[in-house]
Structure formats: C-alpha cells, structure tokens
Amino acid sequence: MNRRNLIALALATCGILWASTATAATMTFSGPVDMTGTGIGAVNTIITLQATPQLNGSEWGSVAWNGTSDVIDTSGGAKTGASQTKTVSDLSSLGINSSNLGVLLQVNQINGGSSPINLHQFSLDFYTAGGTELGSVTFNSPANGDTSALTGTGVGTTGYLFTATGVDPSWFADSNRVGITVPNGNLAITNANDGPETFFLVPAASGAPVPEPSSMVLLGTGLSLGLAALRRRRASVA
C-alpha cells in the first residue's frame, strides 16, 4: 500500500469514528443571563406554565402543530394565551438560525420567593407546515447541565439560557414550525410555587459546537492508526 492510500485509509478511519460519535441534537444549560444587559434582544414566548394554586407542586405542558392549528396540553398549567408554536420565519426575524438556537427560561415563584424549581427535561420539537414531526432538540438534567435548583428570577429581569447544538439545518425551512414539550410524571417541573415559568426562543451564541473530548480522542485514534501503518510501511521498505 503506497503512502497516498495509507493517508486515505487514515482519513477514512477518522470519518468512521467521528460518525459513530454523532448524537441527537441537544440543549445544554448555559447558566443565568441578564435579559437587559447582554444584548440578548427580543424574545418569542413559546410556552408559559402556571399551575395554580399550589406550593411545591408540578408543572408540565406542550405545544404541538397538527398541520392546521396548535395543539396545547394544558393539563399541567400551560396558558393558552401565552403558549404557541412559532414558524421558522418568526425565528429568522429575530436572527435565530440552526447554529445559534437558544431557549431562555424565566422562573417566577410567586408564593415561594427565591425558592428554586427543579427542571428535569424539555424539548423543542420541529414540524413541517403539514404537521409532520421532523425531530427534537432535547435537554436532560443533569446530563446536559444541573438545573435542580433554579431560583426565581421574576418577570422581565433575568433568565436561564439553554443553547442548542447539532440542530439539522434542514429543519429551518421558513414554513416549518417549532413547538415545545415539558414532560409530565417524574420529568415534570417540580417545586413550583404558582409560577409563571416562561420559555422564550432567543438567539444564543453562534458558531459551530465544540467537539466533545471523547470525539477528539477518537479522531486522534484514527489519525494515529493511519500514521502507525505508514511508519510500519516505511520501516519494511527500509
């Protein structure tokens, strides 16, 4: 095997290893932000949860698109007047695209003051204009960040930012829509004290996601295998 073929083999090995580490699109907890002081700009409300009256209760809900209208699960406190899908065109008008998609959560503990809520999971769900679900961008605690103690930030002050990675650019056709799911059961928001908890769509930091350390290790492994084969080939020729 000549040098050119060995290099091609090394690069092909890297490609296979890199592809094997590909994961579903995810949301990562980025931490608290000041809505008025960081240039985060305008926001688009996608769901507001407020299950009242309750102390240390649970909240959940979803907004989906069936091709004709929004389908809202209000059983866990989703407010119909402040919960709706958004078109990709809506997001584009705010400067949001597949590489800088973000979610801002405002926590407002009316009866609990600064007591924290526990956010376990949520997902942004993408739909075609006809209502076919394309895929989801999911946040899980603690795998994508610890959100077991998010304190009340009040309305219109600060919030908690989540940043998406691995979003398929094809989901961002202008006529497609984005919904959200905050699950019920043991994945519901807990320790809620009358809310409201509001999720917005915002532009987060742009740029390509940084590869995970494990991915970089595998990439290096592929290069090492190819280079080792090249060295062995040179040694045998010598």
Q: Out of 83-92, 104-113, 175-184, which region has the weakest mean confidence (pLDDT)?
A: 104-113
Residue 192, pLDDT score: 87
Of 7-16, 96-105, 150-159, highest mean pLDDT: 96-105
pLDDT at 162: 96
7, 226 contact by CB (below 8 A): yes
> Cβ distance 189 to 152 under 8 Å?
no
Which H or E element spans position 63? strand 61-65
Distances (CA, A) of 222 to 2, 6, 17, 210, 235: 18, 12, 7, 19, 20
Separation of alpha carbons 207 and 201, rounded Å: 17
DSSP state for residue 177 in the 8-state scheme: E
pLDDT at 151: 84
Pairing mode, if any, of strands 57-59 and 189-192?
A: antiparallel
Asked whether the predicted pLDDT for residue 213 surpasses 50, the reply is: no
Q: How many residues does the chain have?
A: 238
State the CB neighbour count (10 A cutoff) for residue 237.
Answer: 6
Could you tell me which residues come within 8 angstroms of residue 160 by beta carbon, excluding any fewer than 6 positions away? 29, 30, 31, 32, 33, 104, 105, 106, 107, 147, 150, 153
Write phi, then psi, for 113 (nearest 5 degrees): 60, -120
Residues 6+ apart with CB under 8 A from 52: 77, 194, 195
Residue 149 has pLDDT above 60, yes or no: yes
Per-residue pLDDT at 206:
39
Query: Residue 184 above 80 pLDDT?
Result: yes
Q: How confident is the model at residue 211 (pLDDT cuts 50, 70, 90)?
A: very low
Q: Give 49-107 pLDDT, tens digit per residue.
A: 988 777 778 999 999 999 999 999 999 999 998 899 999 999 999 899 999 999 999 88
- Each domain of the chain, given as residue ranges in start order, spans 25-206
Q: Over range 196-211, report the average pLDDT.
A: 68
List, as one string, the DSSP characters of 193-233.
Answer: -S--EEEEEEE---SPPPPPHHHHHHHHHHHHHHHHHHHHH
Task: Please state, in angstroms and rounded to a whole number, the distance separating the CA atoms of residues 140 and 187.
Answer: 9
Res 193: pLDDT: 83
Give the E-state strand segments of 117-183 in sequence order: 121-127, 133-140, 158-165, 177-182
User: In whole angstroms, what is the distance from residue 61 CA to residue 184 CA?
Assistant: 7
With beta carbons less than 8 A apart as the criterion, state whether 137 and 233 touch: no
Indicate the pLDDT class of residue 154, thresholds 50, 70 and 90.
low
